[in-house]
Chain A
């Protein structure tokens, strides 16, 4: 079955960077896309960006342009999200979520990674 296993919780200081990983299993990695979605404490869902796992092409929400980089390692079926210049408002649970195309629903989700930004 499809599994997306994310890395553990992180605590960072303002201005620092964080890299969250998402290891996929149970399906052919490069046939799909991976999205990143975040959820601030007690808040709704916010889309961060997407990567085409066959080409490495990416697309990011304008809000995060210049601060986020999503990459993948096909040899380990792992996707990474790197977020820089962290501020307190970036405190959130970050989820990876599989998609079937550039424009598709998110049919499987990781368990989430809590990133806390605090001085």
Chain B
């Protein structure tokens, strides 16, 4: 199974700052099957990015995804108050589909 390792575990930033979240795979991810989800307390995850770099419906353009092979990133260009949450990467190109352990973006 493909293990996804996210870093950092926690990112402490202020509104307006740029956030860069990393997701590294234990082996190459079947291209382009890497997604990012956002989860807020008490809520189900929400799809942000699919196919490595495509934004899901209604996701603002301050969210962007990039990468290939084993190294992927989610960038939030300018943090808004509603962006403070936990973010998970997921590979869905092979079974079992696997998730990273999450990166918490918190207000500094």
A contact set with B: CB distance below 8 Å: 35, 44-47, 59, 61-63, 95, 97, 99, 103-107, 109-112
Contact = CB atoms under 8 A, between A and B. Distances in A.
Contacts of A103: 30, 33, 92-94, 97
A107 B54 CA distance: 13
Contacts of A45: 37, 45, 88, 90, 99, 102
Interchain residue pairs A-B with the least CB separation, the first 10: A109-B44, A61-B96, A105-B50, A45-B99, A47-B97, A105-B35, A44-B101, A44-B102, A107-B47, A103-B92
B56 interface: yes
Contact of B45 (A46, A63, A109): A109
A112 B44 contact: yes
Interface residues of B, number: 25
Contacts of A106: 35, 37, 45, 47, 90
B98 interface: yes
Nearest to A6: B44
Interface of B: 30, 33, 35, 37, 44-47, 50-51, 56-57, 88, 90, 92-102
B92 A46 contact: no
Given A95-B45, A107-B50, 6 more contacts: A35-B97, A99-B92, A103-B97, A104-B92, A105-B47, A105-B56
B41 to A, nearest CB: 11
Nearest to A64: B96
12 contacts: A44-B99, A45-B99, A61-B95, A95-B45, A97-B44, A99-B92, A103-B94, A104-B50, A104-B92, A105-B35, A106-B47, A109-B44
A62 B96 contact: yes
Nearest to B95: A59
A105 B44 contact: no
A111 B99 contact: no
A107 B99 contact: no
